[in-house]
Amino acid sequence: MASLGKRFDATEHDTTQSDYSELPNGVYKIEIEASDVTPTKDGRGTLLKTTMIVVEPEAYAGRKIFNNYNLENPNAQAQEIGQKQFASLCRAVGVSDCEDSEDLHFKAFTVKIGLGKPSKDGQYPARAEIKRYFFEDEGDVPEPAVDEVQPKAPANDNRAASRPASTSSKPTAAPGSRPWGRK
């Protein structure tokens, strides 16, 4: 048993539960509220982990999206992809030179968010991810809005897949007879 140190009254708190479904596909204005530089799982690279918060559209304000940027990696292709994504982030927030990730915090930028793919091992479902960054210097930044057409959620009714009819050449027993034979 562990003492809380004081009496906690749960009736003094809002217990409304949120729907933690993924953000729907669409264009969002977001900003980084937290970031951390960490080693990759194998310790041979560097990741920038970010926590972003939706600013617009208003209906989704406050929702979070998490994104990692692979800044250093022994795999040259993984590093190149990560650095391109990080460069796009910097350009989207209007920062051309960055030494500290806090330089990117609380600067609103516009992105296209879409549903990604589930993990290859099936352990993790598909989640919302940044598909495109929009740049103010190009002048084509769309207004935040959720797409009218959304991808269908995969059906999972937990029923076993139907099996094809048997094509066995074994003779079948006559109706009413015992399958194990007569005794």
State the first-to-last Cα distance of the chain, in angstroms, to the nearest integer: 66
Task: Say if 4 falls within a structural domain.
Answer: no
Task: Say if 54 falls within a structural domain.
Answer: yes
Task: Say if 125 falls within a structural domain.
Answer: yes
Burial class (CB in 10 A: 0-12, 13-18, 19+), 81: middle
- At residue 78, the pLDDT reads 94
pLDDT digit string (tens) for 100-122? 999 999 999 999 999 988 888 98
- At residue 130, the pLDDT reads 97
Task: Say if 104 falls within a structural domain.
Answer: yes
Task: Say if 166 falls within a structural domain.
Answer: no
Residues 6+ positions from 100 with CB-CB distance below 8 Å: none
- At residue 22, the pLDDT reads 86
- At residue 182, the pLDDT reads 55
- All residue ranges of the chain with pLDDT < 70 are 1, 18-19, 153-183
Task: Say if 38 falls within a structural domain.
Answer: yes
Structural domain total, the chain: 1
- At residue 29, the pLDDT reads 98
| Domain of residue 94, residue span | 21-143
* Three-class DSSP labels, 41-79: CCCCCEEEEEEEEEEECHHHCCCEEEEEEEEECCCHHHH
- At residue 175, the pLDDT reads 61
The CATH number of the domain holding residue 91 is 2.40.50
Task: Say if 117 falls within a structural domain.
Answer: yes
Put residue 2 in one of left, alpha, beta given phi > 0 → left and psi -120 to 50 → alpha.
beta
Task: Say if 35 falls within a structural domain.
Answer: yes
